[in-house]
Amino acid sequence: MRFYIEIVISQTIFMSFKSLGLSDALLRAISKKGYTTPSPIQAKAIPLVLERKDVLASAQTGTGKTAGFTLPMLQLLSQQPPLRRRPIRALILTPTRELAAQVYANVKEYSTFLDIRSTVIFGGVNAKPQIATLRNGVDILVATPGRLLDLQSQNALSLAKVEMLVLDEADRMLDMGFLRDIKRVIELVPKRRQNLLFSATFSKDIKKLAQNILNNPVSVEATPENTTAEKVNQTVYKVDKPRKTELLIKMISEGNWSQVLVFTRTKHGANRLTKKLIAKNISAAAIHGNKTQNARTKALDGFKKGTIRILVATDIAARGLDIPLLPYVINYELPNVPEDYVHRIGRTGRAGASGEAISLVSAEEYEYVRGIEKLLGEKLSSEEVEGFEADPNYTPPPKQERPQRSRKKSNSSQRDTSGGSQKNRNSSDSNSSSKNSKRKSSNARRRRN
Ligand code: AMP
């Protein structure tokens, strides 16, 4: 009986992914991963990519988009015998180191039964081993833009044989100031190639980028534009700013929550909150742009394994974190860019699981709630916790223009701008007009990525 059930189950697995046109070697890898049915974005994107179409996909992290492009990519590449010297035939660009590492891990897993070589390169770590691997030849390269261009300028890699180009989380790449780098990469890859662009949100800038890069693309959508994952319960808790930490600790302790991703707006805020949680015997770690790559990896590993209960992150650092079935996301502070809210809560309710997105909101942030609601086209349900009610007579002090600081100071103190200059943000280092400072910031960004 058990044997019969196993056959039925494996047939179902093979049938659904098989119907998308994937090879047996890939089906075996998928089955090893334990996926039973393709996610909506996979069902839509895989056949199109296999037909060698350019694809413009609207998909948040958590929808299974990575397999949506890596599976057909592996199939197309493995259909041809490997080229002599193994030039890079597929390039996947990602905004952050963490996302690059995760995409690469996926490529490795899905290519278990194929003769495909792949590697990943990003900044913050020694480039020498990366250069050595590239010299041996790889079919697929996953990279962040800064390190890619650095190594290309040192002749450590060539993009002259790229057949497929993927821009993953393109909206975040633009947000992090990578437009110039992307344009540079486009000059280095052959004109005839297949392009895939994935983005969670679709601003005018993204549409323009897509127009310039993609050739007659087919659009696919896993979730409606700028909406949050379906199974996420979103609640706003009104609370006065000085009492947020206390409320957070109460919620975590009384709910006995584990694997909670908490967002703060600044790097210092993340550090401060982490210390307070640890002081209350709640295991926590901060992840942000001032942390070394090793510290970031260690924190993320501990969080995934469950040795760290709370991960406190800034927006940039959290981008691309792949933590399956994350049950709780808490906005300790709301982002001033509404799209970031969508990205943040995309960390929960992933791949069909349900999740809770909780925002602790003080009077200073009510305008951010309105911005988010406008973007989502819905009202967020608002509650108060007994004993933590917001003072109805409190009026937030008027916002003061912060005095202009020097680039160095502003970089190290406030917003986590570790990914580069950011549009739409209050970061004072984002819009420098002089060529010199542009070059400096571009160099700094490359070093970081
Ligand atoms: P992604 O959106 O690519 O970051 O994927 C989100 C999570 O969903 C990852 O942990 C994947 O391993 C998982 N996943 C991807 N495709 C499937 C599938 N067809 N069934 C179940 N889980 C999946």
Residue 350, ligand 1, Cβ within 6 A = yes
Residue bearing the bigger pLDDT, 249 or 355: 249
- Judge contact between 142 and 92, C-beta under 8 A: yes
Write the residue with the smallest CA distance to atom 23 of ligand 1: 64
| Angle at alpha carbon of residue 148, lines to 147 and 151, rounded to 5° | 80
Residue bearing the bigger pLDDT, 68 or 14: 68
Output the CA 222–ligand 1 centroid distance in Å. 13
- pLDDT value of position 304: 86
Q: What's the predicted TM-score (pTM) here? A: 0.64
Q: Summarize pLDDT for 81-124 with one digit per residue, the tens.
A: 878 889 999 999 999 888 999 999 999 999 999 999 999 999 98
- Judge contact between 293 and 361, C-beta under 8 A: no
- Average of per-residue pLDDT values in the chain: 82
Residue 35, ligand 1, Cβ within 6 A = yes
Name the 3-class secondary structure at 92: strand
- pLDDT value of position 262: 96
Phi, psi of 218 (to 5 degrees): -100, 130
Tokens standing for residue 446: 């490359």
If phi over 0 gives left and psi between -120 and 50 gives alpha, with beta otherwise, what is residue 64? Answer: left
**Can you tell me which atom of ligand 1 is nearest the CA of 37?**
19
- Ordered by where they begin, the domains of the chain are 5-221 (3.40.50.300), 232-383 (3.40.50.300)
Output the CA 65–ligand 1 centroid distance in Å. 7
Q: How confident is the model at residue 167 (pLDDT cuts 50, 70, 90)?
A: very high
Output the CA 369–ligand 1 centroid distance in Å. 30
Residue bearing the bigger pLDDT, 288 or 135: 135
Residue 39, ligand 1, Cβ within 6 A = yes
**Can you tell me which atom of ligand 1 is nearest the CA of 68?**
3
Q: How confident is the model at residue 441 (pLDDT cuts 50, 70, 90)?
A: very low
Output the CA 27–ligand 1 centroid distance in Å. 15
Residue 377, ligand 1, Cβ within 6 A = no
**Can you tell me which atom of ligand 1 is nearest the CA of 62?**
2
Phi, psi of 134 (to 5 degrees): -65, -35
Residue 63, ligand 1, Cβ within 6 A = yes
Rounded to the nearest 10°, the torsion over CA 60, 234, 340, 315 is: -100
Write the residue with the smallest CA distance to atom 10 of ligand 1: 324
Residue 62, ligand 1, Cβ within 6 A = yes
Q: Summarize pLDDT for 349-402 with one digit per residue, the tens.
A: 655 567 889 999 999 999 999 999 988 888 998 999 999 998 888 777 766 555
Output the CA 354–ligand 1 centroid distance in Å. 14
Residue 98, ligand 1, Cβ within 6 A = no
Residue bearing the bigger pLDDT, 210 or 445: 210
Q: What is the 3-state secondary structure (H, E, C) of the chain?
A: CHHHHHHHHHHHHHHHHHCCCCCHHHHHHHHHHCCCCCCHHHHHHHHHHHCCCCEEEECCCCCCHHHHHHHHHHHHHHHCCCCCCCCCCEEEECCCHHHHHHHHHHHHHHCCCCCCCEEEECCCCCCHHHHHHHHCCCCEEEECHHHHHHHHHCCCCCCCCCCEEEECCHHHHHHCCCHHHHHHHHHHCCCCCEEEEEECCCCHHHHHHHHHHCCCCEEEECCCCCCCCCCEEEEEEECCHHHHHHHHHHHHHHHCCCCEEEECCEHHHHHHHHHHHHHCCCCEEEECCCCCHHHHHHHHHHHHHCCCCEEEECHHHHCCCCCCCCCEEEECCCCCCHHHHHHHHCCCCHHHCCEEEEEEECHHHHHHHHHHHHHHCCCCEEECCCCCCCCCCCCCCCCCCCCCCCHHHHHHHCECCCCCCCCCCCCCCCCCCCHHHHHHHHHHHHHHC
H or E segment at 172?
Answer: helix 170-175
Strand partners, 221: 58
Q: Which residues contact 139 (CB under 8 A, 6 or more apart)?
A: 77, 82, 86, 88, 89, 90, 116, 117, 118
**Can you tell me which atom of ligand 1 is nearest the CA of 63?**
2
Calculate the CA 153 to chain-centre distance: 26
**H helix runs in 214-363, sequence order:** 244-255, 267-279, 293-305, 315-318, 338-345
- Name the one residue in this structure whose structure tokens are 């209050």: 426
Among 314-318, 355-359, 444-448, the range with the most confident prediction by mean pLDDT is: 355-359
Write the residue with the smallest CA distance to atom 19 of ligand 1: 38
